[in-house]
Amino acid sequence: MNMPKNFETFAEARRNGFIKVKNAKDEGKKIVGTFCTFTPWEVIYAAGAIPISVCGMSDETTEDAEQHLPKNLCPLIKSSYGFAITDKCPYIYFSDMLVGETTCDGKKKMYELLGQKKNMHVMQLPQNSQDKTSLELWKAEIIKLKERLEKDFGVEITEEKIKEAIRIRNNERELLKEFYSLSKLNPPALWGYDLHKVIDGSNFSMDKALQAEQFTEMIKDLKEKYARGESPVNKDAKRILITGCPSGGVLDKVIKTIEECGGVVVCLENCTGIKEKYKLVREDIDPIDALAEKYLSVPCSVMSPNTGRLEFLDQLIDEYTVDGVVDITLQACHTYAVESFSVKEFVNKEKGKPYLNIETNYSPSDVGQIKTRIEAFIEMM
């Protein structure tokens, strides 16, 4: 099957964006690097700046990072820090500001070190999304970010600019959800590996109006191909949902392996996938209130309690007709590691589906072991 229109644009967006981010800097644009889905990109857009995801997704700079950080730390944190201190990530190198949130202990301590080298703003994330006081605290943190952007970049962020950014981002989320929904089909309209690449690539698209046009055209093309009976996926492929830690750094050894072993990833519940995009920002209330409400509701494992994750999994397992769940835990990610017990209990007992937990890092050393476990998991179905 030929790839849909504009697929390569998004599949290669991270790499191709290196030149674009330099050109944007040369044109006087401000670049803001972000680490997590809790950062409200709408406020950055309202400042006239370009937000870019800067999480590390390989072990290329792990040894560099381990000169400052402990070896038994999350690979995502070590990778992100390593790329920052070695100037090997153009997005971090060209960033005028980095924004992080205190999602976990490892990240917030890493930010202290990174703040000695880069212009760093840290948002203090409350970790009870169901509490009104937490909502007010998070609203205050968003206001602090707004004020910091105004001060550092010499701009005024008006309410109307935030509202316009909310409209643009909501439109982007709606298109991504429509693209995502093509995996609800049986068989899906595309492989999960390709789905992942496109979703990830959307984080590196700097022209959102052009992105919307390209996404609309790609969705139309995929639907037309599917209507003609063109799908790359075998109808008998086992439908897998991915949950847990961000999967960008383990894309090949987990998601690609699943699809080489008779499965197809139809849904990515994690923050690499649909988690942040599913809920829109309300447009009928004060925009800062709306942003605080939306972003604090992201069901990350750092939240306590985190009932939203199981509720979301319940919904997605049914919507995407899932045959099994693979839970990715990055080494030393304690919050997701602890939650894996509750997720397994829920998936096995409440949904009656098989569950597999994969604890890994960015090293290729466990590729063979993971493949053996995935083969057995899919054969079991």
pLDDT digits (tens, 9 = 90+) for 211-270: 899 999 999 999 999 999 999 999 999 999 999 999 999 999 999 999 999 999 999 999
Decide the pairing of beta strands 355-360 and 324-330: parallel
Spell out the alpha helix ranges (H) of 183-280.
192-201, 208-227, 257-260
Residue 9: the pLDDT is: 65
Measured in degrees and rounded to the nearest 5, phi and psi for residue 47 equal: -85, 0
The widest CA-to-CA distance across the chain, in whole angstroms, is: 59
**In which element (H, E) is residue 266 found?**
strand 263-268
| Alpha-carbon span 310 to 344, nearest angstrom | 10
Helices (H), the chain: 7-11, 13-26, 41-46, 62-65, 75-86, 90-94, 105-114, 132-153, 159-180, 192-201, 208-227, 257-260, 287-296, 307-319, 334-345, 367-380
What pTM was estimated for this model as a whole? 0.95
Tens-place pLDDT, residues 82-112: 999 999 999 999 999 999 999 999 999 999 9
pLDDT at 4: 66
pLDDT of residue 328: 98
246 close to 271: Cβ distance less than 8 angstroms: yes
- The answer to whether 264 and 187 are in contact (CB under 8 A) is yes
d(CA 347, CA 243): 11
Q: CA angle at residue 152 from 76 to 51, to 5 degrees?
A: 40
Provide, rounded to the nearest whole percent, the portion of the chain with pLDDT above 70: 97
Distance of CA 292 to the CA centre of its chain: 18
CATH architecture, range 7-160: 3-Layer(aba) Sandwich (3.40)
Quick one: pLDDT at residue 16? Answer: 79
* pLDDT < 70 regions, the chain: 1-7, 9-11
How far apart, in whole angstroms, are the C-alpha atoms of residue 283 and residue 375?
A: 46
380 burial (CB, 10 Å; 0-12 / 13-18 / 19+) is: exposed
Is residue 204 within 8 A of residue 17, CB to CB? The reply is yes
**Residues whose CB is less than 8 angstroms from the CB of residue 285 and which lie 6 or more positions away in sequence, other chains included:** none
pLDDT at residue 119, rounded to an integer = 97
Going by their DSSP bridges, the two strands 324-330 and 238-244 should be labelled as: parallel
Alpha-carbon separation of residue 191 from 184, 202, 285, 344 (angstroms): 12, 17, 38, 25
